[in-house]
Amino acid sequence: MWPHGSIPIKDYAIETPFKKPSKDDTFHEVKIDFNPSSAIEAIHFILKDEETGASYQHKGRDFRVSLVNYLEDDGNMIHAKSSFGKWPDAVEQLPNMVLKAEASCDSKNENRRLEGFYEEQPIVKEVSVGNMVNVAIRKFPDAANIVLHLETDIPGDVVVHWGVCRDDAKTWEIPAVPYPPETTVFRNKALRTLLQPTGNGSRALFTLDEKLDGFLFVLKLDANSWVNFQGNDFYIPLSSARSVKGQSDSESEETSGKAHTDGIINEIRNLVSGLNSEKSLQTKVKEAKESILNEIEKLAAEAYSIFRSSTPSYPEEDSDADDAEPTINISSGTGSGFEILCQGFNWESNKSGRWYMELKEKASEISSLGFTVIWLPPPTESVSPEGYMPKDLYNLNSRYGTIDELKDLVKSLHGVGLKVLGDVVLNHRCAHYQNQNGVWNIFGGRLNWDDRAVVGDDPHFQGRGNKSSGDNFHAAPNIDHSQDFVRKDLIEWLCWLREEIGYDGWRLDFVRGFWGGYVKDYLDASEPYFAVGEYWDSLSYTYGEMDHNQDAHRQRIVDWINATNGTAGAFDVTTKGILHSALERREYWRLSDQKGKPPGVVGWWPSRAVTFIENHDTGSTQGHWRFPGGKEMQGYAYILTHPGTPAVFYDHIVSHHRSEIGALISLRNRNKIHCRSIVEIVKAERDVYAATIDDRVAMKIGPGYYEPPSGPQRWSLALEGYDYKVWEASS
């Protein structure tokens, strides 16, 4: 019964292209022939846009045409009790439908014969359009007003519906005059201003009292179209404009208490989260921009994309005291800033059934190498033995060992000074039971959720939740984190793991699948010492060759970190990919971006970048993206001397690389290199890359020549291996 051109999709579906009956026809069609006496109960389908890959469904579910009890021997007989005005199941699921039929009546058996029918279902194709909304605030010296400039490239007439607020409640008020041209009062609660057209869009200037707390707005495009931020008003804080007036960097650092810095984080986060990725603050004076940038880096460089054109500074560092240990507060995004992470398992670790006990025997050895944090495998019962298809979250008897063995392991690791990260899978969960349609989306165990906990836009699992806030993982039901009961249960579970098992923090699996703001909620509640997310997607390639500029790739990772409010770091996939091309192709020039900085996340937000060269997915027996063979130590010479938080794969510390890795870790520790250390790239050419770090360490990788220059700084060779060297500055 497969139409021509059909191809199987795994073992559960068929993909069939639409075709025109003739060249002159406007419509496309698919004809499916079937035997009416077969056991087929229904036909399920979705429509796929070949151009965009988007799928069209009905209210988040498959379209379904029921066949049982409606087809007789010749395939077109329908019972008299079923009227032609309503075809059960099918019509109920297809709104705005026109049903046309011709019928003949057989009075003897009171059946009606369906000769033909026509159904019409309008489908709206959504096309993603990227537009900008730029907001800039300027405080003029010796003036009591703030000038806010709002500009957008949205075409046509755009009306900004706006007001101001005086406190954190964000209650709308109408400010005092003056107002921009074309402004009217709306219901005595807000103002409406028609933006004035420019060459590439429209804009308006707003003069506001400096005592106001914030500027609130939404954009009205027409009678039925509004632009807001995830269902809420856009909020632009005005206090940051006041804080930069006449204030030097040092004064700002001295007067910023915890309440002030927390406020700045929220203010900048609101600016970034509410607007699209490209922003410009062209009207800001240079002094104001520099002051804000210093504050941003002090708070972990929140919202880098707004201020991308400037060079971040590092106010935590005391550049005049080389021997002074930098003061870095412990936070879940960075730990102490001096962390060195060991991944404590590989893809095969589950096969012995006693991995926890095996790792316990190596605890002292791992600690002696200089690691401070160890990442353990997923602890929960799982459909897959590796643990990444969790089922009952409170059942911690897994293929790695029992819950008691896990507790014993964590206690032993703590005993040798190691912090312990649990690998938690929050994006998806495997169900215990099938629903009435035979779909696995009903959960058991302590968290006995129903299909409301599953996102509604994954056709495979028929969830009744809201649309996913990220990318769907199609192998298991994707959890809807917008549900209050889901977030409450997951917070309780994470806190239980912290207390019951003793985990110090988290490695978060597949965070691309849900909004980073939910991660912030989970981390605020569970208060980890350290947390890192796996945000993994493809780098940019042109005709199979990696692009030199990977800003778009690292921006997506930075955007996710920013969505967590900097409460989590992220694996620096960008740096790993660039190292691949640089080492494989002898193109070491790739290790410097257009501004002479490291080209990965570590070049933009080093304190939140967890650098690595291999893990259980990319290496081990999976080998999905294996690091260039024989060049592993060049990779470690790079990440263990540079800022960021370096992570070392278990397979490498139990290999012949062990002693070299240990030597690099020792060098990093004794030179106090940390996640915010300063890199100066001195050479990035075809066959060599060289850099100095904090003026204490110099390094080079690649077969080309480099020696640190002689001068007031005296260098001594500390480590040397295949195509890498590392020097230390003499005291």
CA dist 211 and 213 (Å) reads 7
Quote the CA–CA distance of 694 and 110 in Å, as a whole number. 91
Q: How many CB atoms lie within 10 A of CB 728?
A: 17
Closest by Cα among 72, 63, 13 to 42: 63
In whole angstroms, give the CA distance from residue 464 to residue 482. Answer: 12
Q: What is the DSSP letter of 257?
A: -
* Alpha-carbon separation of residue 246 from 142, 202, 310, 697 (angstroms): 10, 32, 20, 38
Catalytic residue of the set 423, 458, 509, 694: 509
Instruction: Choose, from 62, 451, 534, 651, the residue flagged as catalytic.
Output: 534
Indicate the length of the chain as a whole number.
Answer: 731
Residue whose tokens read 């995830």: 230
Residues 6+ apart with CB under 8 A from 232: none
Read off the tokens for 75. 């395939």
- Does 534 participate in catalysis according to the annotation? yes
70-83 in b/e form (b: 16+ CB < 10 A) is: bbbeeeebbeeeee
The SS3 assignment for 171 reads coil
Q: What is the dihedral of CA 175, 177, 181, 186, to 10 degrees?
A: 40
Tokens of 464: 């009744």
25 is catalytic: no
Q: Which residue type occupies 688?
A: V
Strand 373-375 relative to strand 7-9, pairing: unpaired
Runs of H (alpha helix) within 56-192: 90-93
The pair of three-digit structure tokens given for residue 478, joined into one six-digit string: 């994707």
Is 719 in contact with 619 (CB distance < 8 Å)?
Answer: no
Residue 669 to residue 354: CA distance in whole angstroms: 33
**Tokens coding 506:** 């988290």
- What is the DSSP-derived secondary structure letter of residue 219? E
What is the phi/psi pair of residue 644, to 5°? 90, 180
Contact call for residues 68 and 61 (beta carbons, < 8 A) = no
Count the neighbouring beta carbons within 10 Å of the beta carbon of residue 602: 27
Q: What are phi and psi of 279, to 5 degrees?
A: -130, 155
Q: Residue 616 has what DSSP assignment?
A: T
* Enzyme catalytic residues: 509, 534
